[in-house]
């Protein structure tokens, strides 16, 4: 419960600000690209800071790292709410992203260490049920706050969650580091690895965004991202050979379950985050539905997701997690494929049904994927495993939004259509082909999910 409240605050801070971007743009006279950095700056900071969580936990322990992250998130919310300059708003968002990235791998580590094997799935289900409510209710509450009190109120919304998490963390989060020992000063942070990971992530995301404008502008950035990836792998392998502490321990990928789970996490993040962009655009610009209709369509699916996560969490204690992840990916692929068949006339009931099918699929994946990937790991690698799999999921998610935008624009151009104008079957076909691409990605992840089989190490995780 303690880490769930803090994670809800971090997720809410990542999603709720989107409803305030139009008002913020008017307040600071921003163009679209500068305003978009309010979201993308948070995303980049959160993605990269996830890799520092194992080092921070080993050095300072659970409680100090968790409390420090909540204080940074609180400071970012307050500073952003009072900021009179857009650069200060952007700095506050980066601070919030850094805090959110450090926090998000912690719950999986605590669940694997604090619960017996037969209870881990149920704990993951209850935790997931609480966490998915944040993005479900956050934008709705945020819209009301913006209408009543202006865009600044969005930043202050995380304050009560941060204060509650600080109180709960002080009482219930252990002060020890992973393994039960007190946090202690040891190896220095792998700054070179962190810089390579950060540079590669920035080049990847900016390169994908630049492809919307010009191929010649985007390809050099994507090439730099690939170079940073190879440089990162070479540096981390060198750190291991020298007996030092790398930012990402590549021995994780010797476990087939974790390696395949990482592939699933990346592809699944791409499909999930890409669909969060594509689905509302399809409903409004492809089918001509109003924003209120879109909200009403997505609400039942969000409620269904919370229920399914809790139920599947109990199944994860008794059934192979690769089976549950496979069922979830198959349902997600089916939902995308069926969405591509929705006709332009009377689509509401069908859209609700197919969106619910997709959210049921997510409910099978969310509490199962981390457990299936990390249960076979040695105890010392669990913190590294949690931060790595979350990092790959977020990189995939950030890339997925741009990928869906690129594919949609490409298919619209092929059909002689534009995103903001036109209608008819050719325009609808472009959206259908984009959903077909997402369905294919889920089927590709399904192949990797079926390989998530490894010898469990029931005694590897020391209880704290």
Rounded to an integer, what distance in angstroms lies between the CA atom of residue 441 and that of residue 439? 5
- φ, ψ of residue 421 to 5 degrees: the values are -155, 165
Rounded to an integer, what distance in angstroms lies between the CA atom of residue 194 and that of residue 239? 13
Closest to 30 in 3D by CA, of 151, 205, 144: 151
Q: Is 452 left (phi over 0), alpha (psi -120 to 50) or beta?
A: beta
- φ, ψ of residue 322 to 5 degrees: the values are -65, -30
CA atoms within 13 A on the CB side of 68: 14
Are 220 and 204 in contact by the 8 Å Cβ rule? The answer is: no
Rounded to an integer, what distance in angstroms lies between the CA atom of residue 223 and that of residue 62? 38
Strand partners, 418: 421
pLDDT tens-digit map of 56-102: 988 888 899 999 999 999 999 999 889 888 889 889 989 999 999 99
Q: What's 282's DSSP letter?
A: I
CA distances from 31 to 34, 207, 275, 343 (A): 6, 20, 25, 36
Tell me the whole-structure pTM to 2 decimals. Answer: 0.82
Q: Supply the pLDDT for residue 459.
A: 38
Domain ranges of the chain: 1-173, 190-246, 248-456
108: how many CB neighbours lie within 10 A of its CB?
A: 25
Rounded to an integer, what distance in angstroms lies between the CA atom of residue 236 and that of residue 231? 9
Residues 6+ apart with CB under 8 A from 336: 271, 275, 358, 435, 436, 438, 439, 442
CATH 3.40.50.12160 fits 1-173, yes or no: no
Whether 1-173 shares its CATH topology with 248-456 is answered yes
Enumerate residue ranges in the chain where pLDDT < 70.
Answer: 15, 18-19, 21-22, 30-36, 134-140, 142-143, 179-187, 212, 289-296, 345-347, 416-424, 454-464
Are 103 and 66 in contact by the 8 Å Cβ rule? The answer is: yes
Strand partners, 421: 418
248-456: what fold? Growth Hormone; Chain: A; (1.20.1250)
For residue 431, give both structure tokens.
């959206």
CA distances from 335 to 122, 271, 287, 346 (A): 26, 12, 17, 18
Q: Which residue in this structure is represented by tokens 């008017």?
A: 26
Q: Supply the pLDDT for residue 461.
A: 44
Rounded to an integer, what distance in angstroms lies between the CA atom of residue 264 and that of residue 260? 6
Q: Both ends of the chain: CA-CA distance in Å?
A: 17
């Amino acid at each position: 419960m303690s880490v769930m409240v803090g994670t809800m605050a971090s997720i809410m801070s990542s999603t709720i600000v989107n409803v305030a971007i139009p008002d913020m743009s008017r307040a600071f006279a921003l163009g679209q690209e500068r305003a978009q950095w309010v979201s993308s700056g948070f995303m980049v900071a959160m993605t990269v800071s996830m890799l520092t969580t194992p080092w921070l936990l080993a050095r300072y322990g659970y409680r100090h790292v968790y409390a420090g992250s909540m204080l940074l998130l609180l400071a970012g919310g307050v500073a952003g709410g009072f900021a009179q300059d857009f650069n200060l708003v952007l700095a506050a968002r980066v601070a919030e992203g850094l805090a959110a990235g450090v926090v998000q791998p912690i719950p999986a580590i605590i669940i694997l260490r604090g619960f017996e094997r037969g209870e881990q799935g149920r704990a993951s289900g209850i935790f997931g049920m609480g966490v998915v409510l944040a993005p479900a209710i956050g934008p709705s509450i945020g819209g009301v706050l913006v209408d009543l009190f202006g865009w600044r109120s969005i930043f202050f919304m995380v304050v009560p969650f941060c204060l509650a998490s600080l109180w709960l963390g002080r009482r219930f989060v252990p002060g020890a580091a992973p393994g039960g020992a007190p946090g202690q000063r040891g190896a220095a942070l792998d700054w070179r690895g962190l810089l390579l990971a950060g540079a590669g992530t920035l080049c990847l995301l900016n390169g994908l965004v630049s492809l919307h404008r010009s191929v010649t502008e985007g390809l050099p950035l994507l090439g730099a991202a690939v170079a940073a990836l190879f440089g990162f792998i070479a540096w981390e392998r060198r750190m291991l050979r020298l007996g030092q502490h790398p930012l990402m321990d590549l021995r994780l990928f010797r476990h087939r379950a974790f390696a395949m789970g990482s592939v699933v996490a990346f592809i699944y993040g791409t499909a999930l985050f890409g669909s969060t962009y594509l689905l509302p655009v399809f409903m409004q610009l492809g089918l001509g539905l109003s924003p209120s209709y879109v909200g009403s369509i997505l609400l039942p699916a969000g409620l269904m997701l919370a229920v399914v996560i809790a139920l599947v969490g109990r199944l994860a204690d008794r059934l192979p997690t690769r089976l549950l992840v496979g069922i979830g990916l198959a349902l997600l692929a089916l939902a995308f494929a069926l969405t591509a068949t929705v006709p332009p006339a009377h689509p509401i009931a069908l859209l609700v049904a197919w969106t619910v099918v997709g959210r049921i699929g997510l409910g099978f994946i969310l509490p199962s994927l981390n457990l299936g990937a990390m249960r076979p790991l040695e105890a010392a690698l669990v913190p590294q495993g949690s931060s790595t799999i979350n990092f790959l999921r977020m990189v995939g998610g950030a890339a997925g939004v741009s990928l869906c935008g690129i594919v949609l624009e490409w298919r619209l151009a092929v059909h002689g259509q534009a995103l903001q104008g036109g209608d008819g079957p050719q325009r609808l076909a472009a959206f259908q082909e984009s959903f077909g691409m997402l369905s294919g990605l889920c089927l590709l992840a399904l192949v990797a999910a079926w390989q998530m089989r490894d010898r469990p190490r029931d005694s590897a995780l020391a209880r704290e």
